[in-house]
Amino acid sequence: MTFSVADVRRDFPILDTEVNGHPLAYLDSAATSQKPLAVLDAEREYYLHANAAVNRGAHTLAAAATDAFEDARATVARFVGAHDDELVWTSNATEGINLVAYALSNAATAPERYRSLALRPGDEIVVTELEHHANLIPWQQLAERTGAVLRYVPVDDDGALRLDLVETTITERARVVAVSHVSNVLGTVTPVETFVARAREVGAIVVLDACQSVPHLPVDLHALDVDFAVFSGHKMLAPTGIGALYGKREMLAALPPVTTGGSMITTVTMERAEFLPPPLRFEAGTQRVSQAIALAEAVRYLDALGMPAVADHSHTLGARLVDGLRSIEGVRVLGDQGGAPRIGLAAFEVDGIHAHDVGQFLDDLGIAVRVGHHCAQPLHRRLGLIASTRASSSVYTTDAEIDRFLEALSGVRGFFGVGA
């Protein structure tokens, strides 16, 4: 199953941009993707014809806006194999993870019905050494607030997770296991089932960072059997400012609210308030209506391409990218684990040249890549680096763009007079 990348590119006018007199080769989609016309039009059409406050008005326009908002929820939920009422709108994935972490923190002092997931001193939270800061710092903070202990599954010298240590790291004291589905630095796919199986043995909940998997792979959260998952719209062809938190029905029901105010209550007196069931319990205040509608349009766009075809495209570009990087003298691919499953993303270092200089050299040629630690300082430190350069793809990326990037990179050491 395939799709025409040439046809896809016609939906993204920004790809016709020139940078420094060169056609833009946008290889920074893991940071944020470009947006197709259909998505931009969906947001514009909402403001032109359906703009109103959702879940609070009795007039016709408010009802239409609410229907569109909830239809968007249903569309996005189905895309990741979830029920409508298991999807909470957030501003991004970071907010989703923090929502879970703060709810777990609040559980200890919440009414009795919310205390089943409360953490206590000596309980353990387990992450991996691969994690984006957004799936690390909230758990560090939760450990500090509750007296829990933060542990992690390390990686080896090649960046591969030490799966042989999962059982001993996730002990009987573990209450939370948080793991990324795809590394935002290495592009490698985590065997989530290994972590879920061990978490089930010890009674821990599993939180999945699916930011880099949902845009590129078919994802069924029910099949993965994780308790919570997060992803961001802007990485999957949708606007910024919209993301989602998935939670199993019983897990969301067990969490106390974190942000309180309008639209998430049933009854309020001067002394107390009663809260709506999920997902509205976690959606206080004015919501991101146009962005949610645009995210649903992005989902329909990806569905029309076919997620198996999207995954094939991503895998093919990933292999082309890594094979090409391996062939360039002085270039080290991070997480180069042979045939390990990966998406179209790779980070690398160039011997003797700082990542920022590599990025500037490529930008001068119209090639956009990411440089820095990619919000993963611990992983970079483990691999002996401060920063790296990352190239990443999406559905609009061509083989020719990968080849152009590789050809340009092959000249970077000569340009800087390194290794001559």
Annotated catalytic sites, by residue? 375
* 329-349 as b/e: b if 16+ CB within 10 A: eebbbbbbbeebebbbbbbbb
Distances (CA, A) of 56 to 65, 263, 279: 10, 7, 16
Token pair, residue 248, equals 């199993």
Eight-class DSSP state of 353? B
C-beta separation of 263 from 275 below 8 A: no
Q: Which secondary structure element, helix H or strand E, spans residue 265, and what is its range?
A: strand 265-268
Token pair, residue 77, equals 């939920």
Token pair, residue 274, equals 């009663």
Backbone angles phi, psi at 385, to 5 degrees: -130, 155
Per the listing, tokens 């930011």 go with 211
C-beta separation of 65 from 51 below 8 A: yes
Q: Which secondary structure element, helix H or strand E, spans residue 302, and what is its range?
A: helix 289-305
**Dihedral sign, CA of 159, 165, 167, 171?**
negative
Q: How far is CA 60 from the centre of its chain?
A: 36
Could you tell me which of 353, 361, 408 has the C-alpha nearest to residue 386? 353
Cα–Cα distance measured from residue 130 to residue 182, given in angstroms and rounded to the nearest whole number: 9
Token pair, residue 384, equals 């002996």
**Residues 370, 230, 166: CA angle, nearest 5 degrees:** 90
Q: Is the bond preceding 279 in cis, omega lying within 30 degrees of 0?
A: yes
CA atoms within 13 A on the CB side of 267: 4
